[in-house]
Amino acid sequence: NAPGTAAGVRQAEATMEIDGEALRAQLAWASERAGEVQASVSTRLAPGAPPGAAPAWAPDAPLAGTLRARLPDVGVWSALAPPGWRVRGTLDASATLSGTRNAPRWAGTLGADDMAVRSVVDGVDLQAGRLRATLQGNQLQITEFRLQGGRGSGARIAGFSGNRTAAPQDGGTLTATGRVSWGDSATAATGLSGIAMSLQAEAKALQVLVRADRQISVSGQMQAQLQQGQISLRGKLTTDRATIILPDETAPSLGSDVVVRSAAKDREDQARAQAAAKASQAAAQAETAKPPDIAITLNLGRDFALSGHGITTRLTGEVDIRSSAVPGAPPRVTGEVRTDEGRYRAWGQMLDVETGLIRFNGPYNNPSLDILALRPNISVRAGVQVTGSAQAPRVKLYSDPDLPDAEKLSWVVLGRNATAGGAEAAVLQQAALALLGRKGGNTGTANIASRVGLDEIGFRGATPGDDASTAALTFGKRLSKDLYVTYERSLSGTLGTLYIFYDLSRRLTLRGQTGEKSAVDIIYTVKYD
């Protein structure tokens, strides 16, 4: 009952004639949007059929025919594509048929222009496609296949730990050649389709993902083969540039102990289960149901930036993707990925990721984690350590030398030792609540700082022995890995102070300040137990 698409049919005719042993069939289809097809075929029937019986078609009966097809708008068939997907292009085919019933032979050409595949939700935008292929016997030879990537994403993660380059204006290209062959009727009688395929593809800075929050372009070569019903993929790809921006908060969902029932939904689930059972049964009988053989190496390159869940970093490394021996299981991923100049926001502070190692040895969605993020420009190495797995991470406070958790939290949040009371104790209490209740997630102050382009907005309480007038607001911004700028505004004063920190080495820091007082200091840090 759904509304259809007007095809503008001008002619739809099929005829078949039998004259003695000769059989001739013709098809004529002409429409405005659904294309045009002109086909004819002739063969001979076996002589001597009994009266009233259907004439026999001998296996060695000769074949002769022609085919001419033209589809000016492939987009008409977008209705058959998954929701949200759109296709476009033109198709032109011309072929002749010869040989016998058991061994048909084709000869002709196949061409397609202006091909495009697009899905806004999935971030797929491939366009300007071109295909040239020839039919020869029982083989389709692909002499030219070309696609261009989309240009619809300007995603970029700013900052010294974000993207090194801007989003590319060119979508890149994908080229491929290969062949597809199929067996004759004798092969099909054995229960095998006889279909074989061999394709070689090369990507050059191809943008495979173009979304407002995600962009990925890759280069490399791949080979795909289909032999005896099993697909095999081989290749090595390198990421030219990637931007992955993850949402910090996920949509709420019902608990695992909540079950919602409805009669309509039960009927839909039952129908879906029956359809799935039929599909699995058909797949079990199909030759291509064999598990694929995948062996792909992915190098993340030098500009793979990730931001989300409090961390902003570049990722480097190489992983191997292999098919699983268990049918239906996801591919296995092995390898190591390291962070490059990462930052981790926790409890209102921006921490530097000193060590970030992600190890894959199994499913892609549950690697092991080994991450250490430290607060910069303090005399104690203090921060956060994340271990465990992606699905069950363990987050704990860290310091070197080891300190009680209260002092660790003080160094991370305040940058100094804990005080007995006052405003700093209140800040520590709020940080502890955030640690226990939100697992170190972003606070409101952190969100405000990120929105205005700062790394830190904080409050410095009065030092022991001074009155409350010495309290001040601080605003911080990291300009590079070693350069950090802080502006401090006293609550009672009329002027502020600008601090510039530059790390000359692990222990030596150059500090300059200007404002109410101007000075240049060289700070040398000595640690002892």
The model's pLDDT over 253-312, given as tens digits with 9 standing for 90+, comes to: 445 566 666 677 677 777 777 776 665 555 444 444 577 888 999 999 999 998 887 788
Q: What is the mean pLDDT of the chain?
A: 79
How many CB atoms sit inside 10 A of residue 277's CB?
10
- State the Cα–Cα distance between residues 11 and 6, nearest whole angstrom: 14
3-state SS class at 429: helix
61 within 8 A of 101, measured Cβ to Cβ? yes
* pLDDT over threshold 50, residue 438: no
Q: What is the mean pLDDT of residues 107-121?
A: 89
* pLDDT over threshold 90, residue 133: yes
* pLDDT over threshold 80, residue 90: yes
* pLDDT over threshold 50, residue 250: no
* pLDDT over threshold 50, residue 420: no
- State the Cα–Cα distance between residues 224 and 403, nearest whole angstrom: 56
* pLDDT over threshold 80, residue 217: yes
Q: What is the CA radius of gyration of the chain?
A: 34
pLDDT for the residue numbered 436: 43
Q: What is the mean pLDDT of residues 103-124?
A: 87
pTM value > 0.85: no
Percent of the chain with pLDDT over 90: 20
Q: What is the mean pLDDT of residues 166-187?
A: 82
C-alpha distances in angstroms, 235 versus 255, 302, 321?
Answer: 42, 20, 10
End-to-end CA distance of the chain: 79
How many CB atoms sit inside 10 A of residue 265's CB?
10
Query: Residues, the chain, total?
Result: 529
Q: What is the mean pLDDT of residues 230-235?
A: 89
Per-residue DSSP letter, 93 = E
pLDDT for the residue numbered 439: 45
- Identify the residue with better confidence: 465 or 210: 210
491 phi and psi angles, rounded to 5 deg: -70, -25
Strand partners, 381: 400
Determine how β-strand 496-503 pairs with β-strand 22-31.
unpaired
Q: Among 146-160, 380-394, 416-430, 475-489, name the one with the lowest average pLDDT.
A: 416-430
- State the Cα–Cα distance between residues 35 and 72, nearest whole angstrom: 6
Confidence of residue 143 (pLDDT cuts 50, 70, 90): very high
- State the Cα–Cα distance between residues 38 and 491, nearest whole angstrom: 86
Structure confidence by residue, pLDDT tens digits, 317-326: 999 998 876 7
pLDDT for the residue numbered 431: 53
In a 10 Å sphere around its CB, with 0-12 CB exposed, 13-18 middle and 19+ buried, how is residue 492 labelled?
exposed
Q: Can you list the positions of beta strands (E) in 150-245?
A: 173-181, 196-210, 214-227, 230-245
Structure confidence by residue, pLDDT tens digits, 51-64: 666 678 888 888 89
Counting Cα atoms < 13 Å in the Cβ hemisphere of 254 gives 5
Q: What is the mean pLDDT of residues 250-254?
A: 46
pLDDT for the residue numbered 50: 64
pLDDT for the residue numbered 104: 86
pLDDT for the residue numbered 66: 93
Ranked by mean pLDDT, which of 193-202, 271-280, 469-478 comes out on top?
193-202
| Domain ranges (residues) in the chain | 19-45+59-137, 334-524
- Identify the residue with better confidence: 149 or 365: 149
